[in-house]
Chain A
Amino acid sequence: MNRIKSLKITILVIGILLILVIIRNLDRNVFKEKAKTAVDAVRNNSNVITVNQLKKLTAPYLIIDIGSESRPDSLQFQHAVKIAFSQLLDKANRKILNDAKGELILYADDVATASRAWVILNQLGYKNLRILTFENNPEELKYKFQPDTTARLEQDSF
């Protein structure tokens, strides 16, 4: 008993540290995934799904429609959940994301918004998360650069 008494401060410090670590770990606002997982997924293109692939998908999925309040109802996806981008992480919306079964498909009018949302959710640890795209390869350069063979650096600007 005496021994433990003399170790009071040591035990106290370790205890406080342990509590702080647990509090930090329970904070759902802290990103815990490795940043590398996001880079790898984007690199091998496992973060996108085309409309054709979606049609063939047999597994259950849920479409999350981000930031499209101005779009008329006739153009909405059926069975899609509408979530405004700025409220993506609200309590109610997190519950929708957590409860969803199967794949989560992100869609936004602007690929930029969908990409950013994808990174945030991926790093919060959501798996089976993909961006819906209408083009087969949105990252393709659609134009071909035509070199001007007569160009010289010396001819100065306009």
Chain B
Amino acid sequence: MDARIKYSLLLVGIGIILAFLPYNATDAFRLKSDELLSKSASEENYLSVDQVARMVNKEDSTIMLIDLRETAQFKECNIPGSINIPFSDLLNPWWEGTFNQKKIKKIFYGNGDQTANCAWAIVTGLGYKNSFVMKGGLNEWFKTVMLSQFRGEKITPLENALYETRFNARKAFTQINSLPDSLKRQYFKAKEIKQLKLDGGCQ
């Protein structure tokens, strides 16, 4: 038989299989469920607010803080250096360049623990590596970093270091979030540019 007919039949046959594929793998998680479960059960992908505060103070360029709350809440206050990806916008293709940065630690936070961990599980399940959750979210940040106080006569060096970290992070947080709206807008614009550069890509 003519080779052309053979190839045509082969391609049409594969096309029919493709047309009846039971689910669209592009929209589904890429990790297998046992892989995602063992990653989820590990404690390694949680960061405490003190760890995050230390990174913020250092202006660590290998991390990216991702605020999952709605834009209005984000504008009211956010941890210095974070970008806003509202949870409802998580699957927007625009953010793929952000999530796909393998060498940058992506740290998710919301107000509590639920949204951030759902987002973590979704992003990790989709196959993006190096994602973390700030344990306790902004509520824990306020409780620990913004409002904690040290009392008593003696203070150990360890406590002193912790206190210094929290104090500096508190100061940065207050300063940036107290800026008048116009200056804040400029500040966000500057961060957006940083964000675009990270995206890379062909555009």
Contact = CB atoms under 8 A, between A and B. Distances in A.
A14 B17 contact: yes
Nearest to A111: B113
Which 9 A-B pairs have CB atoms at the shortest separation, nearest pair first? A119-B121, A31-B29, A115-B117, A143-B142, A145-B77, A116-B40, A147-B178, A14-B13, A34-B27
Given A32-B22, A42-B87, A115 B113 contact: yes
Interface stretch (A54-62, A68-76, A134-142): A134-142
Given A14-B17, A119-B118, A141-B111, A35 B29 contact: yes
B174 interface: yes
Contacts of B71: none
B27 A36 contact: yes
A116 B76 CA distance: 28
A92 interface: no
A111 B114 contact: yes
B118 A120 contact: no
Interface string B116-136: 111011100110000001010
Contacts of A143: 138-139, 142-143, 146-147
Interface residues of A, number: 61
Select the residue from A31, A86, A147, A151 with max chain B CB neighbours within 10 A: A31
Contact of B164 (A27, A30, A155, A158): A158
B46 A139 contact: no
B60 to A, nearest CB: 15
Contacts of A48: 114
A31 B34 CA distance: 10
A85 B121 CA distance: 14
B117 to A, nearest CB: 4
A25 to B, nearest CB: 5
Interface string A1-36: 001001101100110011001000101111111111
A120 B33 contact: yes
A112 B138 contact: no
B174 A29 contact: no
A96 to B, nearest CB: 16
Nearest to A147: B178
B91 interface: yes
Given A42-B87, A86-B41, 20 more contacts: A7-B6, A14-B17, A29-B33, A29-B34, A30-B32, A34-B28, A35-B29, A35-B122, A38-B122, A39-B91, A112-B46, A116-B118, A119-B118, A120-B121, A138-B114, A139-B110, A139-B114, A141-B139, A151-B178, A158-B164
A7 B36 contact: no
19 contacts: A7-B9, A25-B22, A28-B33, A31-B125, A35-B122, A38-B118, A39-B122, A88-B37, A111-B112, A111-B113, A112-B113, A112-B117, A116-B117, A120-B36, A123-B33, A138-B112, A139-B111, A143-B142, A157-B171
